[in-house]
Amino acid sequence: KHFMPKFDEKRQAILKNKEWRHMACEDILSVPDKWEYPWVAAWDLAFHLIPFAHVDPDFAKSQLKLIMREWYMHSNGQIMAYEMNLDDVNPPVIAWSAWRVYKMSAVSVKDRDRDFLTSVFLKLLLNFSWWINRKDPTNKNLFSGGFMGLDNIGVFDRTEELPEGMTMNQSDGTSWIAFFAVVMLQISLELSGGQDGYPVNDAFQDISSKF
């Protein structure tokens, strides 16, 4: 799909997805269904891949790696929301999905695909930094975003811009980031080694303290 058709400057100014000019892709991605929601949404995909890990673990892992490739993930670390508005903000559940797929797709601890986990973890570091740097406006660990845990049934339309001088702090956004940090800590400790016969990796041990 090519998400950025060429329009004149006036139309470009009001276009959604105008910050995603790098995105030109022709890949197969899992979508919610072929009738009501036949479009790509990253956080829906994260949940779809849990049952896929039982059926086709290689496909599940490839999908997670794909949406964090350079022709999908923004250079600032943002993961797309959904194709109608890539710039929107959804709960950061990709790390959780990757961690679950990693564990579910192995018969034993020795069979776990650490190369896959390392690959997605390095990209997730970019996404975690994007959240910390872009969605914590007052640097008080109170995070904002678009529609979050309540999806599109919230009391307020949180995809609309706030009036001038106003800010919105969202308890769900903040709790999602706490969850994101916990999962990233689990992954970094797993990659740190020192157990199950894996050698110690000092680099990942150092990173784990970030979370």
pTM tops 0.95: no
pLDDT tens-digit map of 2-52? 455 555 565 655 677 888 988 888 899 999 888 888 888 999 999 999 999
- Count how many domains the chain has: 1
Chain segment 80-120, per-residue pLDDT in tens: 998 888 988 888 999 999 999 999 998 888 889 999 999 99
Q: Is residue 129 included in any domain, yes or no?
A: yes
> HSE on the CB side for 164, CA within 13 Å?
0
Q: Among the listed ranges 49-63, 113-127, 128-142, which one has the minimum average pLDDT value?
A: 128-142
Express as a percent the part of the chain with pLDDT over 70: 82
Structural domain including 204 reads 30-208
Of 165 and 187, the structure prediction assigns the larger pLDDT to 187
Assess if residue 7 is contained within a domain: no
Q: For residue 137, is it within any domain? A: yes
Q: What is the pLDDT of residue 172?
A: 74
For residue 189, give Cα distances in angstroms to 32, 79, 111, 129, 193: 32, 23, 17, 18, 7
Within a domain: residue 3? no
